[in-house]
Every structure is written in structure tokens, then in C-alpha cells.
Structure 1
């Protein structure tokens, strides 16, 4: 059902806590990613600077080893090597420190003989030939990445000493080694060689990487947040769209199948909406009129509606009669309104058309019933007051008629008086029958035998008028709940009316078949002169007749009996071609269903 869809759409609305929770999860993930990336950058920096420092230390040791072996270097030459190495890019300083923390060689000669660190002693951890590193804050405010290890220019990388080199040095030395030449002395002191590297380029690169990481993280975060929001908004949009589609479909179905006509026009007067009821009323189709000017199709824009608008009068339930293109004149109740938007601009009109034909028919039926009720009361009083004097007149006329001889003029006049009294008595009896409430004795009845017997009763009358009678019965006609005697009375009246209408002969056709599988249709047709359109709406009125003889109560009684059976009587007549009376009776099964549905209605 439609409401359940509305509930589904409501259940799909986005909670702000879902978006907040999703955003927090994404933020944590981005922070973890940024921290891991920062640690990774620091690790890369330490590995690169350590490798660079170790390479410089090995280069300096290799230079010292070559100088000592080939050119008998001493401390002065090694000092020059350190000074030149200290001038390399990104090298802040390079020094050799003794175990007491004093500088024995330095790329800055002014630092020789001073303490390498004032705050603490430089300590090398780990194997002698394995480089250590640490990040140091200098007095100048700069940061230095220091790489250091034991200074052993005469040792190989695996710790083996160049003993033959030492022997060659002693053999070629022609004078004793000066006491202050620390490089050439054979003292096994644990000196450390230190290289200080500038970390600013790496820190700048790290800061740039961190900025890039932050920017990328922010982009990822915003993108993720936007994705979450877009996802939930899309779900909400889809739910709202489905709900809107359901509401629109419901409104379209409701408006399209309204029992009253609905016509909408735009600001230029072109028809934009035309429902099924409007099609039935006007005889036009929506496909024909949609998008076309209303004045091209609606009669004088619905019979003076423009004039009412121009006069500024409200149009609410105005009753009028409109004649459409197909010649039909339809009584209508018209309501109309101008549509104005928020800024007061005219955007169109809405017309509501109510077909008053059924209302007028019901009003006529009510008037007819009121007339019949009044006539019934009058007939009951008149019949009571007239019948008794008629009986006395008939008795006296018979008495006086017996006083005259047969064949005399007086005897003949008395006979005429008796006949007229009998005719007047029959008219009063018909009037009483019409005025008396219809008391039906319903029973399940097969229509085919009833029609066959009723036709036999009028065969002689038809033969006298040279009227041929034709009976056409369909198979499998359902049973109906009727009063056979009263229905037979209706049929006889209709047969006799048809036969009397064919004074020069003709054909009386009686047909019976099923209609929609739920009702029986009885059609009584003649080939007489037909009924004028002006008289067609009056034929069931009491005392209305176009015959020279007759009381005009026959068809009125027929209509009353058919109404009592809750059946339908319809008349079709074409002047010069004949008349057809159609009776529709509900099948017993259809009648039961109707009564059950009526019982199920709430009180």
C-alpha cells in the first residue's frame, strides 16, 4: 500500500550521528597515516645522514691511511684534510676527540684543545668500527646530525690491523716521532672521529613532505567526508524522490479519476490538464485538447465564464447549460479560480465541472414521486366517494332497463349507461391499483417460461392487428427474484401498448439475454411510429397519453412495478422507426452479492 512506501522513505533518512561517526573514523585513519608517514620520513633521514657520515669518516680514514703510508703524514697534514672535508656542502664540522672529550683535530682549528662538549662527554656505543648517530642542538641554535665511531685509520673494516704498514712506517722514519704528533704515535688511545651534518635540507624536505601529507590528508578527509555526506544525501534524495513519485502518482490517479471534471489552463489559456470526467462531460479527449487554446474547444469558454471573471465575481457552483460541438446540451455546475503565484503573477486557471444530468433526473424523479403520492391520496379519496354512487347508478339503470321491452330505444340507452358505469368503475380500479402500495411476492423465477406464457396471452390481439410476434431467448439465462404475477402484468401492458401502436401491422420482437453475466435484459421492440422527443420524458407520468382512448395509467403502473423490483426500465425511440423498452433484472447471485456488500457497510 502507498503508506508503507512512505514509511520506508522515512526510515531511510540520514542520522547526523552516522555522518559524525564516519567522519571521526576517517579522521583517525588520516592521523595514523600522517604519523606513520612522519616516522618513515625521519627514519629515511637518519639512514641517509648516517650513510653519508659513515662515507665521510671512511674517506677521511682512507686519506689518513694513504698519507701516513706514502707521505709520512702527521697531525698537521691530517688537520688540513679535516679542514678541507669540513668545507664540503652540508658538513658543519669534523673532529677527532680523545677519550677525555678533548678535541685533538677539528675542521675549525680554533676548537683544537677544547672540550668537544661542555655539557656531557661524547660516548661511543657499540662496536669500534660501527657508526653511531645522534641529533645535537648546537650553541648557535642549529641542529647537527652527528655520526661518530672510533678513529682507527690503521684498521680494516673488519677490525684487522695493518701491521705491515706500521712496520714500514717505523722502518722509513729517520727520526723519532715528535711527542705532539698524535697521529703518528703508537698509543692505543680510544679516539673518536665525529662528523656533524647539516639537517636543515632534510628538515626542510621533511617539512615539505609533512605539509604535503597534511594537505593530502585534508583532501582525503574532505573527500571522504563529502563522500559520506553525498552517499547519505543520495540515499535521502532517492527516498524523497520515491516518496515524491508516490505522492505524485497518488495525486495524479486521484485527480484523473475524480467523478467531477477538472480542467487546468496556463497563463496563455492553453489546456494543460483534462481528466477523464471532463472527457465524459465535454465529449472531447485529453490527447486532442492538451496544449491547445481552451476557447477553441470549450463553448464560449464554458458559457460566459470569461464574463464572470471580467466582472470580478467569484465563480462557485454556477449552474448553466452548455452545448458542445457534438450537439449535446449538458446542465453543468461550474466552479473556477485563477491561480496566482507568490509574487501576484497570474499563472493559469482551474475549472471544476459537475455534470448535473443525474441530479436533474433525480430531482425529476423526486417531483414525480411527490406527484404520484399526492395523486394516490387523491385517488383513494375520490374512488371511495365515487364507487358507491356508481354502484347505485348501475343498479337503478339495470332495474329501469328491465322495465322496457327488448329492442326498444330505452332498453338500449339503459345498456349504454351500464357499460359507461362499468368503464368508469374500471378506471377507478386502475387508479386504485396505481395508488395502492406495491406488495411484491418475490420468488426465484425462470424468465424464459414466463415470457413464453405472457406472449400466448396477446397472440390473438396481435393477430387481429396483423402484428407478427418474434421471440428470441438466449441460453443459460439466470434466475431472478421477482413477483411473477406483477412482472407478467408489466409485460402484458408493454405488449399491448406496442401492438396498439402498430395499427397498420408490424413486428413485435421480444428478446432476452444476459448482460455482463450479472443481470437479465428483456427487450420489447415494435416497428410503430415511435415517440416524439418532447413526449419521451412524460410517458411514465399518470394520465399522460397520446391515444384517443385510454387512461394514461398503463405505463405509470409498469414503471411503479419495475421500481418496486429495484430493476431498471429504459426507453429508446426513433420517430418513424419504432420504440424499444428495456428491462434489466439482477440475477439472484448478483442480488445476493449486492445485499451482502450493503450489509457490510458501516452503520
Structure 2
């Protein structure tokens, strides 16, 4: 029997509670006990019926013998006594006797009892019973009981027309012999004598005991089988529930382990790969289906050079940072951990290796270091710019004054003008320092980046034509709304354009793309076909005053980084020496933003 148990999400089948099992067992036990008692009573009733019929048959036989003798008119007391003694010779018959209505024994299979009175008087209804007999159970000897059948003794019963004619039996006090005489009574259907037969109950009692034992044994077996069935059903359901819970737990654990952000690789006792989660596939570039069941050492030696030592049993490694060369993916910074899995008896079961990609961590660490460096340089730049700008104004004034004192075209005039030009250059550097040190007070508002790109490209269009550079704009297929400061973002784009064109001194292609990411961020890509950036310089390009150009100040990309930082945007640089550079900016999108023109129109 199953019961429904409602849960919040769905209905589940619940096993029978122990109380239900106990109740069902008690009901089964009560039913078996009732059936057993009924069977025992039915056996007792059946035994009584058989013995009473047997006693009645013996009584009829005695009456038939007496009737035969009386018909011949040759009977006396000795013949009746002999008949009773002969009839009682059967082993199942303990005794046969005839008494008068006062209970005095007139004839008995044991002649010594003649003349005595029976201990327990017979019911007077026996004198009126001439066909079926009455019965009772009496004690004969210690532990011996007799099934006693009795009724009126009518040897002439059934003689049809002879009515009122009976027979009496007398006992001679001198000789002790019984004598049968004819007698007449007022009623022809009654008698003054009672015949009784004592039957041995031992065989029936033995059989009934055997039947009772068998019945009780069968009842016990039924109870045990029923209880066993209930327990088996309960245990089977408990097993199913435990199995389902184990399966759910295993599925949950497997899903959790599979979705871990770290690579998890497990080997069995033979060193074969037994588990390979999705993160491990991403880190190693290997397919899980191609690694499961294969030798782990062979896979590590072929695809992950430098990690084979992690597979040696007994070696425990925790969060060890290494530079690992992965086939087809280059050198990766990884955090590796490895340990053995032991059974309850301490025997080796398997080994587990955990890989964590540190590239993102390293990038975040680099960004923090760069931000700290820029912050320190910015504070220094603000102080230096303030202290230098005023003397520069004085120097430029003096240079202009002296240039007017010298003759036109003289060397002194050229030197004075060169001094003024250098002062202007220093002033531009100081202005850039102030821009770099100035707090990023941005006026962020929703705007379509696709409308900003064409405006920014117009500012460098003429310079690109003189350098033989072709400009390609590839806006996305839908509006790219983002929260941005148009002026500062335009400044950021101009710096990137100028750097890209400076890298293409022999001409090339400048491509600008926009797209909307699935996350809602706007991606802006600036790509050139210039000489590229060496890999050893990629980590330093955003440092202030770092430049590879002879006339550069090294503040252009530092200002770009600071502007994007104010927009809470990210920047990513990929470069292939001799092929070009791709700069990708990821600007937070403006959710539910509308066209700024439409907004201004409503205002």
C-alpha cells in the first residue's frame, strides 16, 4: 500500500509509515486468531457430532439385539447382560449400561456396577428422547474422559401397532441377575429406562490435538508470512526511497562537481581518467569523451607538459602556481592541487587533480597594480604641472622678446624661436599631465555609440588620407546604447586612432566595429594593420610615459585607460607583431535607454 505525500513542487510517492505496518500486522494477527478459533470450534463440533452419532448407532445396535431376542421370547436378564458385555468389547467403547429413571444401574458391561447408582443423574429429558441421543463428557479415571451418549431405552420402538407395551428389567436380590419382563405404561412413546454408552475420547483428542497443532502452526506460518510480507514491502519501499535519494544525491553532487569553476580530473586506481568536468575541458582544450578511460600520464605528457608529477601517488600539492604549456593554447598560469583518495582501510582508491586558470586573476592583479601606479603618478603629475607651468610662461615670454631683438633670419632669432617652440611642447606635456591627473568627473548619459563613431572618425579623416590609410566603419545591426560621456569617450577614441595610424607609417586599414554583447554591454573594436606590439611590451602599454615612439609622451594610452575606468568599462588589447593590433572596449550598456534625440525632443 502506498500513500501520497504532497510537496511544494510536486507529488511524491511515500513509503508506508512504521505505524501502518504495525497496524496491518495486528489486523492480520487478529484475523488469523479468529480463523484459528473458528477452526478449533468447528473441529470440536465435528468430533461431538461423530461421537454422538457413533454412540447413537451403538445404542440402536443394542436395541436391535434386544429386540431380536425379545421377539423370540427367550430373553432374560443374563442375555441382556451378555449383550452389553459383548458390545462393550470394542476398544473405542469404555462401557455400556442401562439405568432406571432413578439412576440405578440395571445392567452394565461391568457387572460389578449393577445395583449401584450413577454419580451424575441423567437429564429427565432423556426419558422422552427415543431417536437421537443426548451427550455429555464425564471423567472415568484420572486424566481419562468418556464421551457419554444416552437416551431412553426402547427395544420395541418402531414396532408400529404395539402401543402401551413395554419392557421392564428387574434384578433378583438373591442372585444379582437381571430379569426382563414385559410391562405396560400409560404412554406408548416413552420408557422408564435409560441406556448410556461411554466412548473413548483419547483417539479423537489425539487427532484433535494434532489438528490443533497443525492449525496453530499454519496460523503461525500465515502470521509470519504476512508480517514478513509487510516488512519486505516496507523494506523494499525504504530501499527504493534510499536508492532514489542516493541517485538524487549522486546526480546533485555530479552536477555540482561538473559545474565547478575549476578543472577537476579524477583517476581510478589503475591511473585511467575516471572524471573530467567541463572546466577541465576549457582549461586543457581536451574533450571529456576522448579522455575518459585513457591513461592519465599519457594524456598529461602529451598535452600538459610539466604536470605529470601531479599523478604520482603519495605526492600532495596545494594551490601551487606554475606556468604550464598546454598544447595548442600556449603557456598558461595555473594553480594546481593534487592528492590521493583513500578507502576506509587506508588503501589507495584514486587520485584527484584540481586546475584553476589564473589568467583572470593575474589580469585583475595587474589592473590593481596599474591603478595604484597611475594614482601615484597622477598625484605627482598634478604637483609637477602646477610648479612647471608658471616658469614655462616666463621662459616663453623671454624667448619671444629675444627673438624680436635679433635680426630676421639670423641664427640667434632661430634659437630664440626654437626655445619658444620647445616651451610650447613642454606646455602640451604639462597639459596632458593635468588631463591625466584631473579627477574623472564624467557626464554619463544614455547615448548610441553608433552615432559617436562617425563623428570621431571625421576628426582623423584628413590625417588618414595623407598617410594612405583606409578607414572602415562597421556599426552593429542595432542601436548600441551605453552610459557614456560623449566628449571624454571621443577623446579616448581619438587617442586610439592616432596610435593606430602611427603604427601604419606605410599605409594600411583602420577598422572600427561596434556590437552589443549578450550581457548588454557595448563592444567597440579599433583594429589596425600596423607593425603590432611585441608580447613583452603588452603589459606596459598603459603605464604613464612608456612609449616606443621617439616623439611620444607615453600618456595617450594611460589617459585612455583612465577615461574607460571612469566609465566602468574594460579594455583588452591583442596584438600580432607584423600583422596588427586589436583594441576592444566593453562599455556598460544603458538598460531600457531610448534615443537621446527623442528624449531631448520631449524635453
Scaled by the length of structure 2, what TM-score is found? 0.86
Secondary structure (helix, strand or coil) at the match of 1:481 reads strand
User: What displacement does 1:71 show?
Assistant: 6.6
In the alignment, is the contact (CA less than 8 A) between 2:106 and 2:178 conserved in 1? no
- Matched residue, 2:183: 186
Instruction: Decide whether the 8 Å contact of 1:510 with 1:522 is kept in 2.
Output: yes
Map 1:29-108 → 2, pairs under 5 A: 29-70=31-72, 72-108=74-110
Q: Is the CA contact (8 Å cut-off) linking 1:519 and 1:590 kept in structure 2?
A: no
Q: What is the aligned partner in structure 2 of residue 115 from structure 1?
A: 116
Structure 2 residue 154 is the aligned partner of structure 1 residue 152: yes
Gaps of 5+ in 1: 170-178, 593-603
- The structural deviation recorded for 1:89 is 4.5
Q: Deviations over 1:218-255 (max 9, x none)?
A: 11222233333334444444444444344333332332
Verify: 1:316 aligned to 2:315, yes or no.
no
Give the structure 1 partner of residue 188 of structure 2: none
How do residues 71-470 of structure 1 correspond to structure 2 at under 5 angstroms?
Answer: 72-111=74-113, 113-115=114-116, 117=118, 119-125=119-125, 127-129=128-130, 130-139=132-141, 141-156=143-158, 161-163=160-162, 182-186=179-183, 188=185, 190-298=192-300, 299=304, 302=307, 304-305=309-310, 315-470=317-472
For 1:170-198, what per-residue CA distance to the aligned partner results, in whole angstroms no more than 9, with x for missing partners? Answer: xxxxxxxxx97643422555111112211
TM-score, with length taken from structure 1: 0.86
Counterparts of 1:17-36 in structure 2, within 5 Å, are: 20-36=22-38
Q: CA offsets, 1:194-217, max 9 Å, x none?
A: 122111111111111111121112
Q: Distance in 2 between matches of 1:584 and 1:495?
A: 17
Select between 224-233 and 494-503 the one with higher mean Cα deviation: 224-233
After superposition, give the CA deviation of every residue in 1:86-142 in whole Å (9 maximum; x if it has no partner). Answer: 22342222222222323333333444x23252x233334253213100011103642
**For residues 335 and 475 of structure 1, what CA distance do their matches in structure 2 show?**
46
Correspondence for 2:486 = 484
Q: 1:128 to 1:305 in 2, by over 3 A?
A: closer
Give the Cα–Cα distance (whole angstroms) in 1 for the partners of residues 335 and 504 of structure 2.
42
Does the residue aligned with 2:138 lie in a helix, a strand or coil? strand
Q: Distance in 2 between matches of 1:269 and 1:423?
A: 68
Q: Distance in 1 between matches of 2:434 and 2:102?
A: 150
Equivalent pair of 1:340/1:346 in contact (CA under 8 Å): yes
Deviations 1:484-534 (Å, cap 9, x if unpaired)? 000001111112222222222222222222221612222222222333323
Q: Residues 78 and 177 of structure 2 are in contact (CA less than 8 Å); yes or no, is this contact kept in structure 1?
A: no
Query: Structure 1 residues 86, 13: closer, same or farther in 2, change over 3 A?
Result: closer
CA 1:428 to 1:303, structure 2 compared with 1: closer, same or farther past 3 Å? farther
Task: Tell me the residue number matched to 1:525.
Answer: 527
SS at match of 2:94: strand
Cα distance, 1:28 vs structure 2: 3.4
Q: Whose strand fraction is larger, Structure 1's or Structure 2's?
A: 2
Give 3-state SS (helix, strand or coil) of 1:537's partner.
Answer: helix
Distance 1:165 1:380, change over 3 A: closer
TM-aligned CA deviation for residue 394 of structure 1 = 1.4
- Classify 1:301/1:76 alpha carbon distance in 2 versus 1 (closer, same or farther; 3 Å): farther
Secondary structure, in 3 states, of the residue corresponding to 2:38? Answer: helix
- Give the 3 Å change call, closer, same or farther, for CA 203–180 of structure 1 in structure 2: closer
State the 1:152 CA deviation: 0.7
Q: Judge conservation of contact 1:124–1:148 (CA < 8 Å) in 2.
A: no
Q: Are residues 184 and 301 of structure 1, via their aligned partners in 2, closer, same or farther at CA, if it must alter by over 3 Å? A: farther
Question: Which deviations, in whole Å up to 9, do the C-alpha atoms of 1:369-421 show, x marking residues without a partner?
Answer: 22222222332233233323322221111111111232333323322222222
SS at match of 2:125: coil
The Cα RMSD (Å) is 3.2
- What are the superposed Cα offsets for residues 306-325 of structure 1, whole Å, 9 maximum, x if unpaired? 67x76x7x532222222223
* 1:34–1:214 contact (8 Å) kept in structure 2: yes
Distance 2:491 2:219 in 1: 99
Q: Does the C-alpha gap of structure 1 residues 276 and 13 become closer, same or farther in structure 2, counting only changes over 3 Å?
A: farther
Greater shift in the superposed pair: 77-86 or 465-474: 77-86
Partner of 2:591: 589
* Cα drift, residue 341 of structure 1: 2.9
Q: Distance in 2 between matches of 1:19 and 1:181?
A: 72
Cα distance in 1 between the residues matched to 2:83 and 2:514 = 133
Q: Per-residue displacement from partner, 1:155-177 (whole Å, max 9, x unpaired)? A: 12xxx65529979x9xxxxxxxx
The answer (yes or no) to whether the contact 2:36–2:215 under 8 Å persists in 1 is: yes
**Gaps in structure 2 of 5+ consecutive residues:** 1-6, 168-175, 186-190, 595-603
Query: Structure 1 residues 180 and 269 mapped into 2: Cα distance closer, same or farther (>3 Å)?
Result: closer
In 2, Cα distance between equivalents of 1:193 and 1:537: 131
